[in-house]
Amino acid sequence: RISFVIDENRIAPSGPKELYVIVYNPEGQVVSTPGTSGNFNTRDDGQKTYTSKVQVNYEQGKITPVSFDWKQESRYATGQYKIEIYHNGYKIGEGYKTLKKGGLFS
């Protein structure tokens, strides 16, 4: 599961927003899955491959929590994953998640 919040913004109008999420595996490769992945254009880096596209109903001036399940066809490798979030071609956030061996990941 990937979860994050969109900070309040008094300029952005309310309504549906399309976010592109890129997950990089510990080797630095984009995690892609047929049917949920694709390409989009960024304002600074040109075309990129996204892991998942997420629709969010944003309300102007309010913090908006976002959460969705991320599944991949191959096994989850242990290590640090980098996650980037884009909207309108701009990177609006990034974070890291470390998966350790054990449980579902062993």
Specify the CATH class of 2-105 in words.
mainly beta
DSSP label of 28: S
Other beta carbons within 10 angstroms of residue 100's beta carbon come to: 9
pTM of the entire predicted model: 0.85
Spans of all domains in the chain = 2-105
C-alpha distances (whole Å) from 32 to each of 13, 52, 67 are 31, 8, 18
Give residue-wise pLDDT tens across range 62-90.
999 999 887 777 778 889 999 999 999 99
Amino acid found at 100: K
Helix (H/G/I), strand (E/B), else coil: 103: helix
C-alpha distances (whole Å) from 65 to each of 7, 10, 22, 28, 103 are 9, 16, 18, 27, 27
For residues 6-18, give the mean pLDDT.
89
Task: Provide the pLDDT confidence category of residue 104 given band limits of 50, 70 and 90.
Answer: low
Give residue-wise pLDDT tens across range 53-62.
999 999 998 9
